[in-house]
């Protein structure tokens, strides 16, 4: 063992040295007064490692008691003072800082010791500090709170941290249902192989395929007179299973006739939208395959939501045309799960997927993850039924069938005015910004 002595650690008058055990990489304290030159210093007469440690502990304890005493003194002055005195508070923190420093110094010399001594010493100090400066803390809190709140709001607003439900029952949106493992891994592979064998159409950030009826992105609708044919046979078993889906109420007249397959590369999302009321019936199913996603839902309070007039690609999550005053919820959609949007969840809540590669969760998911990493792609199969007559839902604010005549007036207002849309304006047609 090679000694590497370091001079200059003072033990209240006596000198000490540190020896670095090169093999273990640990610093251990050794004595100063080696006494005999024939012996290795570590085994010197009156100054064993144990003694040195004990001495060092006395030093730390004395310093801590000293700082506790000083904290007490300073704290009492602050307590008695009319106004909290900032220099004294600073002094108090300095004293505690000195104590903290000496405790840390002590423990850095013997790294593997249990930290109970240090914790005890620090607790005393911080307890005194907290108790005695309690009158000052509100002032400090008052000073720091706005920044802290701003940071917290930013974190939440930017959805860095946001509660995500794992079950539809926890989500609490009427009409939203989720069934996990709706298809098997084999079925999922077959579905993916089928669509990958077919022609994809590229949109700006994702690829799509349409079956039954083409979805027209310009009008956010379908041409109901132009049927592409029946849905492909590779989804027949899914259509069959859908009929017994919970939430469908055993209604057999819900045979889906339109399918959109969306392929999202990693990190690509979907802008907030409500599937056009006049285009599709109430029940909308979305099967997730290949990868997971977090789907979010927004509900705008009555009269605060306005129809964005920009084209699909110009509308972003934080578009100024959308009020920031909304209730937001999110649900985790694992691969092979089937989501049903119906009732209020289908007609009155916008749904969307954030453009994120990783989503942080406020609570752990079933496999104990705190973050959900998007896979290289997610492929969703959205099954809908093309509507035959006008929509008569009770959610008129979002219903293009029921707002048709008021649309013209609002469109005119938009053209005439260069000012931002007023939130209280009558909301025109429903939107499908996908
Ligand atoms: O990808 C999804 O799960 C949803 C797709 C969607 O909302 C739509 O096509 O309207
Ligand atoms: Fe949708």
- Write down the domain spans for the chain: 6-139, 160-416
- Residue showing tokens 């999302």: 269
> Which residues are placed with Cβ below 5 angstroms of ligand 2, an ion?
275
d(CA 152, ligand 1 centre) in Å: 31
Question: Looking at the predicted structure, is the pLDDT value of residue 66 above 90?
Answer: no
- Residues 85-102 have a mean pLDDT of 71
Q: Three-class SS of residue 171? A: helix
Number of H helices, E strands in the chain: 9, 18
User: What's the pLDDT at 265?
Assistant: 94
User: What's the pLDDT at 47?
Assistant: 55
d(CA 331, CA 179): 12
Please give the C-alpha separations between residue 353 and each of 264, 284, 285, 292, in angstroms, as whole numbers: 10, 16, 16, 11
Report how far Cα 406 is from the mean position of its chain's Cα atoms.
39
- pLDDT winner (highest mean) among 28-32, 78-82, 309-313: 78-82
% of the chain beyond a pLDDT of 70: 57
H-helix or E-strand spanning residue 123: helix 116-132
- The pLDDT tens digits of the residues spanning 19-62 come to 333 333 333 333 333 333 334 444 444 456 677 777 777 777 77
Decide if 150 contacts 158 (C-beta within 8 A). no
User: What's the pLDDT at 115?
Assistant: 60
Decide if 352 contacts 271 (C-beta within 8 A). yes
Check pocket membership of 382 for ligand 1, CB cut-off 6 A: yes
| Residue of 270, 292, 345, 430 with the most ligand 1 atoms within 8 Å of its CB, for mutation | 270
Q: Three-class SS of residue 88? A: helix
d(CA 190, CA 196): 10
Check pocket membership of 351 for ligand 1, CB cut-off 6 A: yes
Check pocket membership of 260 for ligand 1, CB cut-off 6 A: yes
Confidence category of residue 325, pLDDT binned at 50, 70, 90: confident
The residue contributing the CA closest to ligand 1 atom 10 is: 275
d(CA 274, ligand 2 centre) in Å: 6
Q: Kindly report which listed range (140-149, 247-256, 313-322, 344-353) carries the lowest average pLDDT score.
A: 313-322
Check pocket membership of 221 for ligand 1, CB cut-off 6 A: no
Question: Looking at the predicted structure, is the pLDDT value of residue 326 above 50?
Answer: yes
Instruction: Give the atom of ligand 1 at the shortest distance from the alpha carbon of 352.
Output: 7
- Fold entry, domain 160-416: Jelly Rolls (2.60.120)
User: What's the pLDDT at 280?
Assistant: 96
Q: Burial code of 105-139, b = ≥16 C-beta within 10 A, e = fewer?
A: ebbebeeeeeeebbeebbebbeebbeebbeebeee
ipTM: 0.99
- Residues 381-387 have a mean pLDDT of 97
- Residue showing tokens 């093309």: 386
Decide if 280 contacts 362 (C-beta within 8 A). no
User: What's the pLDDT at 264?
Assistant: 96
- Comparing 389 with 248, which gets the higher pLDDT? 389
- Residue showing tokens 């008129």: 396
d(CA 210, ligand 2 centre) in Å: 14
User: What's the pLDDT at 23?
Assistant: 35
d(CA 275, CA 260): 12
Q: Which tokens belong to 200?
A: 């994809």
Please give the C-alpha separations between residue 173 and each of 165, 205, 242, 344, 346, in angstroms, as whole numbers: 11, 29, 20, 7, 10
């Amino acid at each position: 063992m090679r000694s590497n002595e370091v001079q200059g650690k003072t033990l209240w008058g006596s000198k000490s040295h540190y020896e670095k055990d090169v093999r273990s990489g640990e610093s251990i304290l050794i004595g100063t007064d080696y006494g005999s030159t024939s012996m290795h210093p570590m085994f010197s007469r009156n100054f064993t490692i144990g003694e040195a440690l004990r001495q060092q502990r006395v030093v730390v304890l004395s310093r801590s008691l000293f700082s506790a005493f000083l904290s007490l003194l300073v704290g009492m002055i602050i307590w008695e003072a009319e106004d909290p005195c900032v220099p004294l508070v600073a002094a108090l923190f300095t004293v505690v800082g000195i104590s903290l420093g000496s405790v840390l110094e002590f423990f850095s010399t013997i790294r593997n010791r249990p930290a109970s001594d240090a914790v005890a010493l620090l607790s005393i100090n911080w307890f005194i500090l907290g108790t005695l400066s309690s009158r000052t803390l509100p002032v400090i809190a008052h000073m720091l709170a706005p920044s802290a709140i701003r940071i917290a709001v930013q974190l939440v607003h930017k959805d860095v941290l946001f509660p995500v439900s794992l079950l539809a029952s926890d989500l609490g949106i009427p009409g939203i249902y989720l069934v996990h493992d709706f298809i098997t891994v084999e079925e999922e592979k077959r579905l993916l192989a089928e669509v990958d064998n077919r022609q994809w159409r590229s949109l700006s950030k994702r690829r799509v395929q349409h079956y039954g009826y083409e979805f027209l992105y310009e009008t956010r609708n379908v041409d109901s007179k132009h049927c592409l044919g029946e849905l492909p046979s590779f989804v027949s078993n899914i259509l069959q299973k859908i009929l017994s889906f919970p939430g469908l109420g055993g209604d057999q007249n819900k045979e889906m006739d339109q399918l959109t397959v969306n392929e999202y590369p990693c990190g690509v999302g979907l802008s907030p939208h409500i599937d056009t009321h006049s285009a599709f019936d109430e029940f909308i199913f979305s099967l997730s395959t290949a990868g997971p996603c977090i789907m979010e839902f927004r509900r705008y309070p009555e009269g605060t939501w306005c129809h964005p007039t920009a084209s699909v690609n110009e509308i972003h999550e934080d578009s100024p045309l959308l009020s920031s005053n909304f209730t937001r919820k999110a649900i985790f959609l694992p691969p092979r799960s089937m989501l049903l949007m119906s009732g209020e969840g289908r007609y009155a809540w916008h749904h969307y997927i954030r453009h994120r590669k990783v989503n942080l969760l406020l609570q752990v998911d079933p496999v104990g993850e705190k973050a959900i990493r998007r896979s290289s792609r997610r492929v969703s199969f959205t099954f809908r039924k093309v509507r035959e007559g006008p929509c008569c839902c009770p959610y008129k604010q979002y219903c293009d069938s029921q707002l048709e005549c008021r649309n013209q007036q609002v469109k005119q207002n938009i053209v005439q005015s260069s000012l931002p849309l007023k939130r209280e304006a009558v909301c025109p047609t429903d939107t499908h910004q996908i």
